[in-house]
Amino acid sequence: MNRAIVVAAGVGRRFKNKNGKQFVDLLGRPLISYSIESIHLCRSVDAITLVTNEETIDACRRDVVDKFGFSKVENIIAGGESRQESVYLGLMSLNDSTDKVIIHDGARPNISVEKIEEVVEAATIDNGAILAVPVTDTIKLAGKMDTIANTLEREGLWSAQTPQVFDYHVLMEAHVLAIADDYHGTDDASLVERLGRPVKVMFGDYENLKVTTPGDLDMIKAIMKDKERIV
């Protein structure tokens, strides 16, 4: 079975919502509902685990999973203090019948079913695969006193996105090693890379934005309105 872990345990202090960022209104629906919907519609995904804040578990079940009929959601669990810990707790809730595990940020609501299917298929062929987009801005490396130390060549630089898909046992091994080494990565691919395992980079979507600030929310609203994703 292929199982997805949707990570939505962030506090989201920039957003004035008592239930956190995942419940911020996006075109009349909770932000988190869009990510779950896209994964729910994927034929290659059999089940979903939602990782959220402990105090919002009931609200997620009532106002998102039950309300929108997301029957593939088999678990709603409390996350940890960091994203990495939340993913690990999600992995711990799965069982050995899991083949591929799909990790997705709940704050990326504009992910398409097609892109999810593409990265899952790529991970089936390779050890693992992630969505990413080529960097278009000029990237500066800052040194002491916040002065420019170097300008990096953009060729070969990619901005990582989610979903990221890996063999369940490989990703679990990567997380266990990270815990043992007290290593904190910025995404799951960085943990798998430490095992010396190759990870395939798949072309993502520049509109697969992560909502981190209210400005991001305004931008994603405009994009999704244009795509007529209002339900």
Query: What is the bridge-based pairing of β-strands 148-152 and 139-142?
Result: antiparallel
- Contact criterion met (CB below 8 Å) for 90 and 51: yes
Domain ranges of the chain: 3-226
Within 13 Å, how many C-alpha atoms sit on residue 4's CB side? 31
φ and ψ of 113, to 5 deg: -60, -40
The pLDDT score that the predictor gives to residue 230 is: 46
The model's confidence at residue 16, banded by pLDDT at 50, 70 and 90, is low
Question: What are 37-83's pLDDT values in tens digits?
Answer: 999 999 999 999 999 999 999 999 999 999 999 999 999 999 999 99
The pLDDT score that the predictor gives to residue 231 is: 43
The model's confidence at residue 31, banded by pLDDT at 50, 70 and 90, is very high
The pLDDT score that the predictor gives to residue 14 is: 58
3-226 domain in CATH 3.90.550.10? yes
Question: What are 182-222's pLDDT values in tens digits?
Answer: 999 999 999 999 999 999 999 999 999 999 999 999 999 99
Q: Find tokens 């600030």 and name the residue.
A: 213
The pLDDT score that the predictor gives to residue 47 is: 98
Residue 18 in tokens: 């008592």
The pLDDT score that the predictor gives to residue 126 is: 81
The pLDDT score that the predictor gives to residue 218 is: 94
Give the predicted TM-score (pTM) of the model.
0.93
Whether the per-residue pLDDT at 20 is higher than 80: the answer is no
Whether the per-residue pLDDT at 36 is higher than 80: the answer is yes
The pLDDT score that the predictor gives to residue 48 is: 98
Peptide bond into 163 cis (omega under 30): yes
Question: What are 87-140's pLDDT values in tens digits?
Answer: 999 999 999 899 999 999 999 999 999 999 999 999 998 889 999 999 999 999
The pLDDT score that the predictor gives to residue 146 is: 86
* 127 Cβ contact list (under 8 Å, min separation 6): 166, 167, 170, 192, 197, 198, 199, 200
